[in-house]
Amino acid sequence: MTGDRGRRVSRNGRRGTGDESGAARVTEWLIRGARPYGGEPTDLRLAGEVIAQVGPDLDGTGASVLDADGLVALPGLVDLHTHLREPGREDAETIESGTRAAALGGFTAVHAMANTDPVADVAGVVEQVWRLGQAAGYADVHPVGAVTVGLAGERLAELGAMADSTARVRIFSDDGHCVSDPVLMRRALEYVKAFGGVIAQHAQEPRLTAGAQMNEGVLSARLGLAGWPAVAEESIVARDCLLAAHVGSRLHVCHVSTAGSVEILRWAKSKGWGVTAEVTPHHLLLTDELAATYDPVFKVNPPLRTAEDVEALRDALADGTIDAVATDHAPHALEDKETEWDAAAFGMLGLETALAVVAEAMVGTGRLDWHGVADRMSVRPARIGGLSGHGRGLQPGAPANLVLVDPVARVVVDPASMASRSRNTPYAGRTLPARVSATFLRGRATVLDGKAT
Ligand SMILES: [Zn+2]
């Protein structure tokens, strides 16, 4: 790790013991000299669970003081697409390890995908996931409910019961699988209208991708790997935009990966339809050329695409056609990933590197400023997920969910130092900009000086 200046936490006044472990539990913080959204330096005072004051030279009496000179302050990040693997594959990730990774990445809320074992297709499972998130305490865990029973694509799961549960599910997805039956997709879109829900589609026509291993193109032919055509994604995106419009419901398109999907989304949004979309950090930075290494760490669903697709995705995120960045954090145990390409599982880690990759792909290229990053990684995902306590901005009275980022730090990605139980990051050894220095969840520090508390 380079460019990492140690941050001092000092204590003023009468409270507490002054030790670092105590600092994580105090209820008042004075963050000195942070730059909200990359703007002019100011102080932020956190009291209890809210931001109490924002302004220059605030009084730090009774608070722990955090020197944030040069750090950019953003609202806590919100992930729409996280695989936490619990219940069922706790060898790859747990809700505790996954949310610790999330906090280290600057996230204060994550949506946990339903493809666990058992599947999150009934109220009991989503309530269990929600409770385990509360117990871990690193980030709010909002379970995503399955659309169909067992993700089997045959009959609708108990969407209403999951919405009414203590987990208050609002996003439903069979992610990992596409709801390919148009009749089921129509019914799901109709059903969630009653409670303001949204269907998040993993857009992949299965009959066009049987056995597919990488993006279909010149390269797949040369490498002898079965191709995954862009049209397999685009045909479902187009169909579902039309269905959402027909029903008057809300569709969210997961991990958009092709220039053609962007064009369809741009058209659907121009009609005023209830369609939103996300892109992953890896689809903003990496291309299908990496498949030539035959290293399965680069095997992901949807596959890495061409440099032209990457350009179109960056443009779409910048102009708002794509609403949000979502990690698709997909931890896998070594034996599922370190094998030959054809046999390896699809997926990459994402939580701990998401902000750095967005900084590289979007801020470093001048496409987004820090306001834009906050909008695409906090404000809009919170709105899509219906999370009133997140994505609220950095003003007095807002919940104290925020992240402090060192924008000039450059960090070499080291898989061994990650909080995730898995090691399948595609950025190992790569130097990325921007380092998360601190994260606060409702006024409590979950990360200080780049370390989980
Ligand atoms: Zn997916």
C-alpha gyration radius of the chain: 21
Those residues with Cβ within 8 angstroms of residue 406's Cβ, 6 or more apart along the chain or in another chain:
3, 4, 5, 70, 71, 72, 434, 435, 437
| C-alpha–C-alpha distance, residues 420 and 424, integer Å | 9
Which string of DSSP letters, residue by residue, matches 12-41?
-SSSS---HHHHTT-SEEEEEEEEETT-S-
What tokens appear for 65 in the block?
A: 């003081």
* Stretch 295-323: mean pLDDT: 98
Report CA dihedral (378, 135, 327, 154) to the nearest 10 degrees: -110
Instruction: Single out the residue of 169, 39, 73 nearest to residue 112, CA to CA.
Output: 169
Instruction: Single out the residue of 281, 448, 255 nearest to residue 359, CA to CA.
Output: 281
CA of 9 to the centre of ligand 1 (A): 40
What percent of the chain is modeled with pLDDT above 70?
94
Q: Residue 220 burial (CB < 10 Å; 0-12/13-18/19+)?
A: buried
The predicted pLDDT at position 100 comes to 98
Q: Which residues are catalytic?
A: 328
Per-residue pLDDT band for 27 (boundaries 50, 70, 90) equals: confident
- Residues 229, 216: contact at Cβ < 8 Å? yes
Those residues with Cβ within 8 angstroms of residue 261's Cβ, 6 or more apart along the chain or in another chain:
203, 230, 233, 234, 237, 253, 277
CA of 256 to the centre of ligand 1 (A): 10
The predicted pLDDT at position 329 comes to 98
CA of 333 to the centre of ligand 1 (A): 18
CA of 121 to the centre of ligand 1 (A): 17
Does 25 score more than 60 pLDDT?
Answer: no
Instruction: Single out the residue of 153, 229, 141, 231 nearest to residue 185, CA to CA.
Output: 153
| C-alpha–C-alpha distance, residues 265 and 251, integer Å | 11
CA of 159 to the centre of ligand 1 (A): 19
CA of 248 to the centre of ligand 1 (A): 24
Please give all residues whose CB falls under 5 A of ion ligand 1, grouped by chain where several chains appear. Answer: 175, 202
| C-alpha–C-alpha distance, residues 86 and 93, integer Å | 7
Q: What is the pTM of this model?
A: 0.95
Q: Is the peptide bond before 118 cis (omega within 30 degrees of 0)?
A: yes
Q: Alpha carbon of 199 to those of 314, 363, 389: distances in Å? A: 24, 30, 21
| C-alpha–C-alpha distance, residues 221 and 421, integer Å | 35
The predicted pLDDT at position 17 comes to 37
Does 256 score more than 50 pLDDT?
Answer: yes
pLDDT tens by residue, 313-372: 999 999 999 999 999 999 999 999 999 999 999 999 999 999 999 999 999 999 999 999
